[in-house]
Amino acid sequence: MKSIFAAFAALAAVACHAAAETAAYDVIVAGGGPAGIGAGYMAAKRGAKTLVLEKSGRLGGMGVSALVSPFSVATASPVVNHIAGRIGFSHSVDFHMADVRAFDLLKETGADVMLHADVIGPVMDGNRVTGLKVNCAEGVREFKAKVVIDATGNGAVAAAAGVPYDEGRAGDGLVQPMSIMFTVGGFDPKRRFLCYSEEDARSKRCIVAGRTWENIVQEEIAAGRLPPEVGVIRLYPGKTKDLAVVNATQVNGLFGSRSADLTKAEIATRKQAAQIVEVMRRHLPGYKNVRISDMPAVVGVRETRRFEGVDRLTTEDVLSGRRREDAVARKCSFVMDIHNPAGAGQAHGHEKAVTGGARRVKPYDIPYGALVPKKIDGLLFCGRCISATHEALASCRVMGNAMATGVGAGAAAAEAVKKGIDVRAVDAKSLHLFD
């Protein structure tokens, strides 16, 4: 009994400690991925007292922690270009140092940054988010904010605040697969083999000992040495000639918003990585000694919650190139890249209208309304959890676009604070995001 009382006393002490340490900000950004970096930078740049909270030890989100190497800047934004250039997110992510540069850039702009700060959920006053509860190394702390921006990727704050959301595609509710990327070294740099897509794998460029790379991979699958969902082994150039980035693993039917599924995905994708390296050793000239040189810290998550906003980016918007007066991201042009939620390759119906297997879009805009929750005040979301259909998200989720939505959210939050209005009353046309 004595030990139970001691435990309660300790919990009470943590609670008091938390109350004593409540800190107030104009804008708090939950999550320090591409969207959170954009949001924190822009809110601070526009004069708001800003804090960025990140649960891991590194800024950069999927780009750094999941080694997602290609930074797709498929949007016209001078601010995104500036941030990406400063932190080493240009074209391919410098995942060794980008987080440190992002930290320095945020600090230089005037934002506070706290790592190892896991946001548990919002502090609410009725329908308004007024702050965040955060699990810090020293215990649970509470931070007050005039505006909270959810840049957690999975929408941890918006979900806990009660903003309605969809997860998965219509029909079977499945999401795009989780994957890891990893780098390999130890091969002959003069014979580095590159394969960018499904199309590439079956082209003349990717012939190995008289067979296409696609044939070789399919034979390995038929022999049971690779799981069928691997489908294609893509190899992108690494930062130096002696490195390549591998994008090939995937797991289907699991959700990045559930810890049990994430656990299965972490283990399964790393086992696949070892199998993929064996295939390279067996087949690629100069790859006898190839080895994994960088493993990601976390499995890569492409898609989880898509929240209900006052506006929504639709599949039709993306295919028809719809332009918006309240654009936070302009001329987004990344393909509708739906990695098959139920197997290998692209999702059924999207494999043929191709660029690298994915369907083309017409350059479209992302409206501010897709960042504004329908019901809850004092909150914006950005990045890969904005209000969009499953198909539209397959295009707008890439890091350049995610960062652009963060930049828009940061500017809108600072404007709301300056004018003393709610974020839903901000006129996005007056934000001058593209000057």
Instruction: Note whether 305 binds ligand FAD by CB under 6 A.
Output: no
Among 52, 114, 119, 329, binds ligand FAD (CB under 6 A): 119
Among 384, 409, 413, 433, binds ligand FAD (CB under 6 A): 384
Instruction: Note whether 118 binds ligand FAD by CB under 6 A.
Output: yes
Nearer to ligand FAD among residue 179 and residue 389 (C-beta): 179
Site string for ligand FAD, 72-111 (x = CB under 6 A): x---------------------------------------
Nearer to ligand FAD among residue 130 and residue 247 (C-beta): 247
SS (H, E, C) 174-203: CCCCEECEEEEECCCHHHCCCECCHHHHCC
Helix axes 78-87, 34-45, angle to 10 degrees: 110
Residues ≥6 apart with Cβ < 8 Å to 175: 167, 168, 169, 255, 256, 302, 303, 304, 341, 390
Among 43, 48, 62, 217, binds ligand FAD (CB under 6 A): 62
Place of tokens 């696949």: 272
The dihedral through the CA atoms of 144, 147, 150, 155 has a sign that is: positive
Q: How far is 148 from 219, CA to CA, in rounded Å?
A: 51
* Token pair listed for 242: 């002696």
Nearer to ligand FAD among residue 177 and residue 369 (C-beta): 177
Piece of the chain touching ligand FAD by CB under 6 A; list 24-32, 42-50, 161-169, 261-269: 24-32
User: In angstroms, what is the minimal distance from the CB of 280 to ligand FAD?
Assistant: 19
Phi-psi bin for 67: left (phi > 0), alpha (psi -120 to 50), beta? left
SS3 label, residue 293: strand
Near ligand FAD in 138-197, by CB under 6 A? 151-153, 156, 179, 181
Which of 116, 107, 68, 110 has its CA nearest to residue 89? Answer: 68
Q: What is the phi/psi pair of residue 163, to 5°?
A: -75, 125
Instruction: Note whether 256 binds ligand FAD by CB under 6 A.
Output: no
Among 184, 301, 361, 433, binds ligand FAD (CB under 6 A): 301
Instruction: Note whether 61 binds ligand FAD by CB under 6 A.
Output: yes
User: In angstroms, what is the minimal distance from the CB of 386 to ligand FAD?
Assistant: 9
DSSP state of 183: E
Distances (CA, A) of 92 to 75, 308, 339, 369, 428: 16, 32, 21, 30, 31
Piece of the chain touching ligand FAD by CB under 6 A; list 26-34, 95-103, 342-350, 419-427: 26-34
Q: How far is 416 from 425, CA to CA, in rounded Å?
A: 8
SS3 label, residue 320: helix
Among 56, 75, 272, 389, binds ligand FAD (CB under 6 A): 56
User: In angstroms, what is the minimal distance from the CB of 208 to ligand FAD?
Assistant: 24
Neighbours of 91 (CB within 10 A): 11
Which of 184, 191, 108, 119 has its CA nearest to residue 149? Answer: 119
User: In angstroms, what is the minimal distance from the CB of 273 to ligand FAD?
Assistant: 12
* Token pair listed for 60: 């950069």
Nearer to ligand FAD among residue 56 and residue 389 (C-beta): 56
Among 26, 27, 33, 371, binds ligand FAD (CB under 6 A): 33
Count of residues in contact with ligand FAD, rule CB under 6 A: 37
Residues making contact with ligand FAD (CB under 6 A): 30-36, 53-56, 61-63, 66, 68, 70-72, 118-119, 151-153, 156, 179, 181, 300-302, 383-384, 397-400, 402
